[in-house]
Amino acid sequence: MLKDRIIQNIFFIVAAFSIFIIFFIFFFLFQEAFPAFQTMGWDIFGTNWNVAKGQYGIGAAVFGTLIVTAGAMIIAIPLGIMGAIFSSELAPLKIRVILKPLIELLAGIPSIVYGFIGITLLVGYLQPSFDMLSGYSLLTGSLILGVMALPIIVSMSDDAMKAVPRQLKEASLAVGATKWQTIKKVTIPTSISGISAAVILGIGRAVGETMAVSLVLGNMMKIPIPPWDMFETTGATVTSLIAHEMGEAAGLQINALFAGAVILFIVVAIMSISSNILQERIEKKFRGG
Amino acid sequence: MMTMIKEHNKKFGKAIVVLTVSIVLGAVFLSGCTDQETTTITIKGSSTVLPIAESCAEAFNAAHNDIKVTVAGGGSGLGIKSVATGEADIGDASREVKQSEIGEYGDIFIDHKVALDGVAVIVSKAIYDAGVTDITMDQLKGIYNGSISNWQDLGGPDEEIFVNEREEGSGTRDTFMDIVDLDETSADKANSANSQVKQAVSGSDVAIGYVGLGYISDETPALKIDGVYPSGATIKDESYPISRSLHMYTNGEPTDAVEEFLNFVMGSEGQAIVEEEGFISIL
């Protein structure tokens, strides 16, 4: 029917439009970042960021992103997976019904709210607790990002574990394995690709998060000495660098900030695609078997 | 059942047609509304000058039907670039035009000073109460280049100094670095707004930072520099060292409409707005 085809085409155009936007953003980012890569060469990954001297090395911010994300994952991965085991395998139905929506609600809290809580509570609490120069630090950023990545990891790992066929678990229990042995030897190994997808997506969130993190960091473009000293009031992430300096940036500085955006874009895209591939793998495994 | 779906499709199709037509008509109608008679003045530039430009534009637009002033931020660098390339009629800057910019665009800039601004050095209340109420320019330089790192050197408690600065590209930072004579700093925290500096300093017992005059408070008291307290009077008579003029640049002599606006800003009405926004009048 003609009408059906018209409507189909309209929907196709709408769908194509969103793909077009992605490509547009992609090309725009590269185009704007290109002068920075061209002028700075490999120095763009160096650690000298000094606008007055025309040095735009974003290395310190890339390092900051890495270490803050790593810190966040040290918190979020064990807590997230344990939470998921509880909610999918151990919790009584009554608790399970309340637990999952509440955890997912945590993911819906706007990041500025996390940042606000961080700056009013955490910053003031951490400074005297660890005798730090100030409460603004990579550690503070890690703590907040860890909490923010938690709901994604819990919720997606929970889905993955629930997707493990009941027959598998029951077979394990039937041959005399305890509940814990079943979780350890059957549930987790079978759902490992789904759990990995959850972790990767959690990392993606941590890497791309801006607002909360830029509020609680020192935002100096320096690598702490020694580099793993997360208590020092220094260090920025790529996102906080962009958020901080785009307002007053001019000339090559803008291009260098776009170079940071390109790096973020690539990292997050890789994370998101590999998470998708892992999830498809788990679905295929159970559909096929 | 089939007819129901058909009905549904029909309604849906109609809705889309109506929506499309109304969007197109709306667009045509809106674009037809632009009055060709008005002269538009575009202002771009420094975020420090932005509140002055915005409030003045608002008051000016209310009094003029034939001239419409629009204001955007973007930073001093962008303001100067925009006025040089003709993208803007007025370029706001919280610093003077650099030699490099004159080299790039030619000696085309005409400076209109619209206000004065001071940069105050604030410290945590605990430090102020411990007796650090005065600082010399040399000590200030020492703190920001890292050669002084303990409050003891300034007669304060035996505590490390938590040094706050503004982000790279900030006009306030440019002014501070320029007058205190620093190339780079060994500060601990970069803040992207005056309010962030104030928050970091008031939340600490060992902090120092620099902000616009409007951000001095009981919790973030200002230090005297070389014996002079930052105020409207000391900045006007140039006895307070860290001060600057705020500029509106034009590309060559301003047109009549632009000149009318600049006269408004520099006149008594505009300067009252300048004071209201927390800056110091040039009058």
A:B CB pairs within 8 Å? 93
Model confidence over A163-199: pLDDT tens digits? 899 899 999 999 999 999 999 999 999 899 899 999 9
Which residues of chain B from 78 to 137 reach within 8 Å of chain A, CB to CB?
Answer: 78, 81
CA–CA separation, A173 vs B165, rounded Å? 62
Residues of B in contact with A235 (CB under 8 A): none
* Stated pTM of the model: 0.78
Reduced to 3 states (helix: H, G, I; strand: E, B; else coil), residue B103 is: helix
CA torsion, points B186, B191, B194, B198, in degrees to nearest 10?
A: -80
This model of the complex carries an ipTM of 0.79
CA–CA separation, B73 vs B266, rounded Å? 20
The pLDDT tens digits along chain A (289 residues) read 788 899 999 999 999 999 999 899 999 999 999 999 999 889 899 988 988 788 899 999 999 999 999 999 999 999 999 999 999 999 998 999 999 889 888 888 999 999 999 999 999 999 999 989 999 999 999 999 999 999 999 999 999 999 899 899 999 999 999 999 999 999 999 899 899 999 999 999 999 999 899 999 999 998 888 888 888 888 899 999 999 888 777 778 899 999 999 999 999 899 889 988 888 887 777 665 4
Inter-chain CB proximity A247 and B77 less than 8 Å: no
pLDDT in the model for residue A289: 47
What is the residue-averaged pLDDT of chain B?
87
Q: By CA distance, what is B162's nearest residue in A?
A: A133
Helix, strand, coil shares of chain B as percentages rounded to 5? 45, 25, 30
Q: Name which of A3, A124, A220 is nearest B203 (Cβ-Cβ).
A: A124
Q: Which helix (H) or strand (E) holds B263?
A: helix B256-266
pLDDT in the model for residue A161: 92
CB B52 within 8 A of CB B115: yes
Task: Please provide the distance, in angstroms rounded to a whole number, between the alpha carbons at the two ends of chain B.
Answer: 81
pLDDT surpassing 70 at residue B6: no
Q: Most A CBs within 10 Å: which of B10, B99, B168, as the mutation test of the A interface?
A: B168
What is the residue-averaged pLDDT of chain A?
90
Model confidence over B151-185: pLDDT tens digits? 999 999 999 999 999 988 777 888 899 899 998 88
Residues of A in contact with B76 (CB under 8 A): 248, 250
Sheet with B67-74, strands from edge to edge, namely B67-74, B39-45, B90-93, B243-251, B109-123, B207-212, B162-166, B189-191
**The 3-state secondary structure of chain A, one letter per residue:** CHHHHHHHHHHHHHHHHHHHHHHHHHHHHHHHHHHHHHHHHHHHHCCCEEHHHCEECCHHHHHHHHHHHHHHHHHHHHHHHHHHHHHHHHCCHHHHHHHHHHHHHHHHCCHHHHHHHHHHHHHHHHHHHCCCCCCCCHHHHHHHHHHHHHHHHHHHHHHHHHCCCHHHHHHHHHCCCCHHHHHHHHHHHHCHHHHHHHHHHHHHHHHHCCHHHHHHCCCCCCCCCCCCCCCCCCCCCHHHHHHHHCCCCCCHHHHHHHHHHHHHHHHHHHHHHHHHHHHHHHHHHHHHC
**Amino acid at the residue B179:** I
φ and ψ of A105, to 5 deg: -65, -35
Residues of A in contact with B184 (CB under 8 A): 50, 52-53
- Is the Cβ of B188 closer than 8 Å to some Cβ of chain A? yes
Q: Most B CBs within 10 Å: which of A2, A47, A248, as the mutation test of the B interface?
A: A248
Residues of A in contact with B188 (CB under 8 A): 133-134, 218, 220, 233-234
- Is the Cβ of B146 closer than 8 Å to some Cβ of chain A? no
pLDDT in the model for residue A225: 83
Inter-chain CB proximity B192 and A244 less than 8 Å: yes
Q: By CA distance, what is B193's nearest residue in A?
A: A244
Residues, chain B, total?
A: 283
Q: By CA distance, what is B195's nearest residue in A?
A: A215
Q: How far is B151 from chain A (nearest CA, A)?
A: 13
